[in-house]
Amino acid sequence: MTRARLGAIATLSVIATAFVLLDGARTSPSHAALEAALRHGVLVHAALPARATSDSGVPQRPAVAPTPVSHAAPAPTAPPSPATPSPPSGPSATTHASSPHARATPHAVAVPKPSKVKHVFVIALTGAGAQAAFGATSPAHYLATELKRRGTLLSGFRPVDGASDLPNYLAMTGGQPPNPDTRGECATFSDFPPDAATGSDGVVKGAGCLYPNTVLSIGDQLTASRHTWRAYAEDLGSGSGGVQSCRHPHPGEADDTLKARAGDQYATRHNPFVYFHSLLDLGDCMANDVALDRLSGDLRSVSTTPDYAFLAPNLCDSGTETPCVDGRPGGLASADAFLHEWVPRILGSPAYRRDGLLVITFPSSAPAPGTGTPATPAATTGPAAASPAPTGTLLLSRFARAGTTVAGPYDPYSVLRSVEDLFGLKPLARANHASSFVKAALPGAVGG
């Protein structure tokens, strides 16, 4: 694939997102301002240097230095609302046409001005309970001692659904609630049915795994508002197919990453961006959803560090499996070793030191020992049987108060809402009514 074609894909991706956002805002008094803002976003995105590609068309990091990232001031976006989709028109890892879905009426939600935080890093791990992770006897010694005293602990943070990983990861990046398929970890990587409707609250009704291209994620929001983002998934490039970005099964196929394999401990369900057609169909996933080993190079300078970085450790390093397929202990001990390796790199990066926030979160509950699967059976209908126990989340930033605890009722929707508040974005789906922790836990980031 030539540089020109790759640049065209990136531009089309932003234009497609802009059309989705604009369609829902046609009747809004702010439509003209929004349209102008999105035009600026398209121009900035299109002007970014094209990444070099391999013979297979997969974006590669330049040999000398990472591609510079634009950090233009963010522009406000309209509330995301589904529109009648057009067939995908650009190449991607997997291209599928989506069926029309009901249009949602946007909520009138007050959006804060962008905060002083300009770089957000999220590390998602598997929880074992807040006390187990952050208490005095925690096997995660680095987390519970050194990092805890340097940050603000959200002690009341708990999963949306304690039975499985995927619903919590999707809540954290798209605001979508659990459904029977996602509670089952999408063992079959299936599209929503053609007649699936999107409600006025932005939630897609029914069961399915691959959200139609009218449903947006935080990645879409950031691109449309002239911000940059990347997901860094450990072992993404270790599969047999040689895929180096946006790795996922084909629609209708079984997901073979539910358990770790020797030499490959990647988990599709811990990489939520591959579940959105809005990112798959026009190339954003191919460009921005990459292997973890890319992060070190991107952290070298402010210009190469994305505004939003999502880190997905593999099944061992996330604490999901106990023990691990490679003989390591797994659980909190392995998660702590991952943090000890990567957190100092993030905290020492120019972007974090200037205006960064690191979120170390446990969006899902602990698996049953020796199984690598959740302790609570996955529900097939209705809400989770009981409210999951708190797992905790730690915030590190110069805008937070070190060594403090905030006991608010936060969850993965709150993580999405807080990120949206920090960047001045309209909340998606269930994040619309979620509690933001920005004012309570990051008082230095807002106001004055």
Work out the end-to-end distance of the chain between its first and last CA atoms, rounded to an integer number of angstroms.
48
CATH 3.40.30.160 correct for 3-61+68-445: no
Q: What is the pLDDT of residues 159-181, one digit of tens each?
A: 998 768 999 999 999 999 999 99
Token pair recorded at residue 235: 């072992």
Handedness of CA 232, 236, 241, 246 (dihedral sign): negative
Beta strand 308-312 with 356-364: parallel, antiparallel or unpaired? unpaired
* Total-model pTM: 0.77
- What span, in angstroms and rounded, lies between the C-alpha atoms of 60 and 244? 9
Give average pLDDT by consecutive 10-residue segment, the chain, 448 residues: 45 50 40 37 34 35 39 40 38 36 42 90 96 96 97 97 89 97 97 94 96 97 97 96 94 97 97 98 96 98 98 98 96 98 98 98 73 40 63 97 95 98 98 97 88
Q: What is the pLDDT of residues 49-86, one digit of tens each?
A: 333 333 333 333 333 334 444 333 334 444 444 443 33
Instruction: Report whether 202 contacts 81 (CB < 8 A).
Output: yes
- What span, in angstroms and rounded, lies between the C-alpha atoms of 198 and 168? 19
CA distance readout (Å), 261 to 235, 325, 365: 11, 7, 22
Give the helix ranges, DSSP H, for 304-368.
331-347, 350-355
419: left (phi over 0), alpha (psi -120 to 50) or beta: alpha
Residues 6+ apart with CB under 8 A from 118: 71, 307, 351, 354, 355, 356
Token pair recorded at residue 332: 């909190």
Q: Phi/psi of residue 358, each to 5°?
A: -110, 125
- What span, in angstroms and rounded, lies between the C-alpha atoms of 205 and 196? 6
Q: What is the pLDDT of residues 279-337, one digit of tens each?
A: 999 899 999 999 999 999 999 999 999 999 999 999 999 999 999 999 999 999 999 99
Token pair recorded at residue 254: 């079984």
Compute how many other C-beta atoms are within 10 angstroms of the C-beta atom of residue 198.
22
| Enclosing H/E stretch for 402 | none
CA distance readout (Å), 113 to 31, 283, 324, 424: 18, 29, 44, 5
Q: Order across the sheet with 308-312: list the strands.
A: 289-291, 229-233, 308-312, 119-126, 356-364, 393-397, 152-154, 404-406
